[in-house]
Amino acid sequence: MTESVGKKVLVAMSGGVDSSVTAALLQERGYEVIGVTMQLYEPRHAPVGGKTCCSLTDVMDAGRVAKRLGIPFEVLDLRDKFKEMVIDDFVREYAAGRTPNPCARCNERIKFGALLEMASSFGADLLATGHYARIEKDAAGAYQLLKGLDQRKDQSYFLFAMNADQLSRTILPIGSMEKHEVRQLAERYNLPTAQKQESQEICFIPDNDYVRFLEENGVHPEPGEIVTSTGKKVGVHNGVHQFTVGQRRGLGIAWAEPLYVLAIDRDNAVVTVGPRHELTCGGLVAGNTTWTGTAPESFHGTCSIRYRQKPVPCEAALEADGKLRVKFETPQGGVTPGQAVVLYDGDRVVGGGWIEAGTP
- Which active-site residues does the annotation give? 106, 203
Q: In whole angstroms, how far apart are CA 50 and each of 7, 130, 134, 196, 206?
A: 37, 21, 30, 12, 8
The DSSP secondary structure of 149-176, one letter per residue, reads: SSTTT--GGGGTT--HHHHHTEE-GGGG
Give the separation between CA 159 and CA 143, rounded to whole angstroms.
Answer: 14
Backbone angles phi, psi at 285, to 5 degrees: -120, 135
- Which helix (H) or strand (E) covers residue 282, if one does? strand 280-291
Looking at the chain, the number of H-run helices and the number of E-run strands are 9, 17
Q: In whole angstroms, how far apart are CA 127 and each of 11, 91, 209?
A: 6, 29, 33
Give the separation between CA 340 and CA 287, rounded to whole angstroms.
Answer: 10
Centre a 10 Å sphere on the Cβ of residue 325 and count the other Cβ atoms it contains: 14
Give the separation between CA 115 and CA 229, rounded to whole angstroms.
Answer: 45
Q: Where are the beta strands (DSSP E) in 98-249?
A: 126-128, 133-137, 143-147, 170-171, 224-228, 233-237
CB under 8 Å to 188, separation ≥6 — which residues? none
